């Protein structure tokens, strides 16, 4: 028996090689393609920089797949120490108090230096509790912006619209100049309802969008949002707007120059550069000038890193060290410039600016400015709503009924709010 143990230890040592004394930390993520390679690069940089811990990044598929696998693994007690979860999964993670290790607590208990004020509140706000403590570490955050076709704009003699009123007149001029459609949007719930509400400083749901309690109810069927969706319905009929599908399915409409404007994630900048064969510009998301004078910040999308319970003290020490490493200005600036995601610290933004990146790549700082120009309010801090993945599906369904001309905005949004509220009650019940 002893011999066997000895042999297996020897084999284990041989396999783990040089890093045999390093504590292993598994990090499950959802970054495919170029961003996935960058994640591996980041982990390697960390492993090279010290030899007490070894971070092992594991690609687990898209956001939902990664979250589902992490949860399944947790149920089977095989969970990773660190997992990347998309923003709409935040409420589910938060509610799972026995499963998560809040980042602020981890940092305090491991004695790592951690100053929350260094982080951009517009980004971290989404991931903090009622007392402002950071529960997870933002990793890749983006926000919707307006991309526009500079060549078509020049031909029509227009400039980037700032307000929804201008959206209409600019689009009409574009149509008159021969373009097929004015604008299209990706992620309709995120951009046209969630961010629309934030930008106009009106609630999307009661209880501070869910931050103040689980007994929240949807109010996105209020007059301002209804008027906006009703306007879009009218535009869908006359060609100013053209619906192109859920998620980012509408992007080809912009690439093929069918639509002159596209509302999409700021993190889509690199993809835009690769796919657009024309000169394009980036502008802030429009606002309704009749609703608000100075628009609020937009809210973020993307994902953050959650620490899971059930690991050893040593591993948590490693996780905390790694999170600190990730937050370093040079690491953040590099990630921000490479991927197009927002920087999470003020220092990283300043560093990027100092390096002349924004000057060399016009439009890449639009999202940062849109996020940080004003102090976030409780309507623009973010959303904390249970079962939100399903709610977004419901909103998709109801909005599609509007674009198809089957329902009016009021009827559709009322139905969406009613169906969504049922899911909120269910979440409240399952997590009480």
Stretch that binds another protein, among 28-36, 90-98, 101-109, 322-330 (CB under 8 A): 90-98
Options 36, 61, 239, 252; binder of another protein; rule CB under 8 A = 252
φ and ψ at residue 154, rounded to 5 degrees: -65, -45
Stretch that binds another protein, among 143-151, 240-248, 278-286, 329-337 (CB under 8 A): 240-248
**Residue 57: which residues within 8 A CB-CB, separation 6 or more?**
27, 28, 29, 39, 40, 42, 43
Q: Is 266 in the site for another protein (CB under 8 A)?
A: no
Write down the H helix ranges in 130-210: 150-156, 164-176, 188, 196-199, 206-209
Of 419, 9, 52, which is closest to residue 217 (Cα–Cα)? 419
Options 96, 219, 270, 411; binder of another protein; rule CB under 8 A = 96
Query: How near is the Cβ of 319 to another protein at its closest, in Å?
Result: 19
Q: Is 74 in the site for another protein (CB under 8 A)?
A: yes
Of 262, 329, 264, which is closest to residue 302 (Cα–Cα)? 264
Contact 195, 265 (CB under 8 A): no
**Residue 81: which residues within 8 A CB-CB, separation 6 or more?**
25, 26, 27, 307, 308, 311, 315, 316, 318, 319
Stretch that binds another protein, among 25-33, 62-70, 109-117, 161-169 (CB under 8 A): 62-70
Contact 80, 74 (CB under 8 A): no
- Contact string 371-390 vs another protein (x = CB under 8 A): ----------------x-xx
Number of residues that bind another protein (CB under 8 A): 42
Tell me the C-alpha distance between 359 and 223, whole Å: 41
Q: Is 34 in the site for another protein (CB under 8 A)?
A: no
Options 6, 154, 247, 273; binder of another protein; rule CB under 8 A = 247
Stretch that binds another protein, among 120-128, 213-221, 336-344, 419-427 (CB under 8 A): 419-427
Contact 54, 47 (CB under 8 A): yes
In the complex, the residues that contact another protein under the rule CB under 8 A are 64, 67-68, 71, 74-75, 92, 95-99, 243-247, 249-250, 252-253, 255-256, 258, 387, 389-390, 393, 396-398, 400-401, 403-404, 406, 419, 423, 426, 429-431
């Amino acid at each position: 028996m002893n011999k066997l143990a000895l042999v297996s230890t020897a084999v284990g040592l041989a396999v783990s090689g040089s890093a045999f004394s390093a504590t292993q930390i598994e990090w499950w993520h959802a970054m495919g393609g170029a961003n996935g390679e960058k994640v591996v690069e980041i982990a390697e940089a960390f492993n090279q920089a010290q030899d007490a811990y070894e971070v092992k990044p594991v690609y687990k598929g898209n956001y939902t797949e990664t979250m589902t696998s992490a949860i399944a693994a947790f149920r089977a007690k095989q969970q990773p120490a660190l997992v990347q979860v998309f923003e709409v999964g935040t409420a589910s993670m938060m509610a799972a108090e026995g499963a998560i290790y809040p980042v602020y607590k981890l940092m305090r208990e491991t004695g790592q230096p951690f100053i929350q004020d260094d982080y951009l509140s517009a980004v971290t706000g989404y991931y903090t509790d009622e007392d402002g403590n950071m529960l997870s570490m933002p990793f890749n955050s983006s926000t919707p912006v307006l991309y526009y076709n500079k060549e078509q704009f020049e031909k029509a003699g227009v400039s980037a619209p700032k307000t929804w009123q201008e959206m209409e007149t600019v689009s009409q001029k574009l149509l008159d100049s021969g373009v097929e459609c004015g604008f299209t949007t990706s992620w309709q719930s995120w951009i046209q309802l969630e961010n629309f509400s934030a930008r106009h400083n009106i609630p999307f749901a009661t209880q501070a969008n869910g931050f103040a309690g689980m007994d929240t109810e949807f109010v996105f069927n209020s007059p301002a949002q209804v008027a906006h969706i009703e306007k879009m319905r009218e535009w869908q009929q006359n060609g100013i707007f053209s619906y192109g599908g859920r998620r980012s399915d509408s992007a080809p409409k912009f690439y093929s120059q069918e639509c002159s404007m596209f509302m999409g994630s700021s993190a889509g900048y690199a993809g835009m550069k690769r796919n657009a064969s024309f000169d394009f510009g980036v502008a802030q998301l429009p606002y309704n000038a009749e609703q608000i004078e100075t628009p609020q910040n937009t809210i973020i999308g993307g994902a953050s890193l959650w620490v899971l319970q059930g690991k050893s003290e040593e591993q948590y020490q490693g996780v905390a060290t790694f999170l600190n490493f990730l937050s370093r200005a040079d690491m953040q600036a590099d990630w921000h410039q490479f991927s197009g995601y927002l920087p999470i610290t003020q220092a990283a933004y300043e560093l990027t600016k100092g390096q002349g990146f924004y000057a060399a790549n016009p439009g890449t700082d639009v999202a940062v400015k849109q996020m940080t120009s004003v102090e976030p309010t409780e309507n623009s801090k973010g959303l904390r709503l249970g079962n939100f993945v399903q709610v977004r599906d419901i909103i998709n369904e109801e909005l599609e009924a509007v674009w198809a001309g089957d329902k009016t905005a009021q009827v559709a949004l009322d139905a969406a709010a009613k169906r969504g509220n049922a899911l909120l009650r269910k979440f409240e019940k399952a997590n009480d």
